[in-house]
């Protein structure tokens, strides 16, 4: 790998900045000052130092994050708290979120510094499945379930959605189930007084597309309003519930293999 690429990937600076550092004689390779940014070095064998500190290449990183509600999926934002705010300054270097979850959605979010992984996982042709747990206002009848599973027309889209999988867990009066519904970003204060909205349903929905607000829009298309949403699974990768909201960890090798889109995970 070129010396300037190695330093840039190790977050010493941008490619342009590290070239200047090298040309200015600030970088050593195996104890020798090197002023050629294009020189080839071997990661793990050559010792690279800047300001007398050994610069370790971070390698590719794949992080599982348990996203809480109330933060947006972005690298930076002037107004809102972002998912990156949960990472230490050291840990967040070079990381970016893979895909996105809405501000009020909880659950499994992956972060990486590997652009190719992001491209592959998000590529619409790979149809990587995403499983969500939801609570909605309303009832999901057999008819509605079938509609959602076969493909439903959602507002603003020309085509109906791809096949999905629905699993209804329970359904009942809001008053009876209220204590089971996680308190969340949605304003449910007027539900009790709304005589038209008395029933709620909990379930899982698995989709293989990633349109904006897709789950909410699909459920809205059958007259249901999402009041809680949590992503549980991407492909075969399941959210580690030992991670509390806002916590993160590196993916284990076996987990990485499970999520690799080239495996063409087929849920149906
Ligand atoms: N679908 C949604 O509506 N919101 C999300 O955050 C993810 C999927």
Please provide the DSSP assignment of 156-223 as one string. T-SSPPPP-EEEEEEEEEHHHHGGGSPP-SS--TTTTT-TT--EEEEEEEEES---TTHHHHHHHHTT
pLDDT tens sequence across 224-239:
999 999 999 999 999 9
The answer on pLDDT for 266 being more than 50 is no
- Tell me how far the alpha carbon of residue 79 lies from the centroid of ligand 1, in angstroms: 21
Q: Which of 136, 216, 222 to mutate to test the pocket of ligand 1 (most atoms within 8 A of CB)?
A: 216
In this structure, the residues whose C-beta lies within 6 A of any atom of ligand 1 are 101-102, 105, 213-216, 229
Determine whether 102 is an active site residue: yes
Q: Which domains does the chain have, with CATH numbers?
A: 3-54 (3.10.290.10), 62-124+236-259 (3.30.70.580), 129-234 (3.30.70.1560)
- pLDDT of 260: 74
- Place 156 in a pLDDT band, splitting at 50, 70 and 90: confident
Token pair 């390779």 is at which residue? 29
The answer on pLDDT for 185 being more than 90 is no
CA-231 nearest atom, ligand 1 = 7
The answer on pLDDT for 102 being more than 80 is yes
- Place 186 in a pLDDT band, splitting at 50, 70 and 90: low
CA-217 nearest atom, ligand 1 = 3
- pLDDT of 44: 87
- Place 209 in a pLDDT band, splitting at 50, 70 and 90: very high
List the catalytic residue out of 102, 104, 118, 240.
Answer: 102
- pLDDT of 126: 86
- pLDDT of 258: 80
């Amino acid at each position: 790998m070129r010396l300037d690429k190695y330093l840039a990937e190790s977050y010493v600076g941008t490619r342009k900045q590290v070239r200047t550092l090298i040309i200015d004689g600030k970088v050593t390779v195996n104890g020798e000052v090197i002023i050629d940014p294009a020189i080839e070095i071997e990661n793990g064998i050559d010792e690279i130092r800047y300001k007398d500190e050994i610069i370790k290449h971070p390698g590719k990183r794949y992080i599982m994050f348990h996203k809480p509600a109330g933060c947006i999926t972005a690298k930076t934002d002037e107004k809102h708290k972002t998912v990156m705010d949960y990472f230490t300054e050291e840990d967040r270097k070079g990381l970016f979120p893979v895909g996105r979850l809405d501000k009020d959605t909880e659950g499994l979010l992956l972060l990486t510094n590997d652009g190719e992984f992001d491209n592959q996982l998000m590529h619409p042709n790979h149809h990587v499945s995403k499983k969500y747990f939801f609570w909605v206002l309303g009832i999901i009848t057999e008819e509605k379930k079938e509609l959602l599973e076969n493909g439903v027309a959602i507002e603003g889209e020309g085509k109906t959605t791809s096949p999905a999988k629905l699993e209804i867990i329970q359904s009942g009066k809001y008053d009876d189930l209220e204590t089971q519904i996680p308190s969340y970003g949605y304003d449910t204060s007027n539900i009790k007084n709304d005589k038209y909205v008395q029933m709620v349903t909990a379930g899982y929905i698995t989709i293989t597309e990633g349109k904006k607000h897709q789950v909410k829009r699909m459920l809205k298309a059958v007259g249901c309003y999402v009041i809680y949403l949590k992503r549980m699974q991407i492909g075969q990768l399941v959210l580690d519930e030992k991670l509390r909201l806002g916590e993160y960890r590196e993916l284990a090798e076996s987990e990485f293999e499970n999520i690799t889109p080239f495996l063409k995970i087929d849920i149906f």
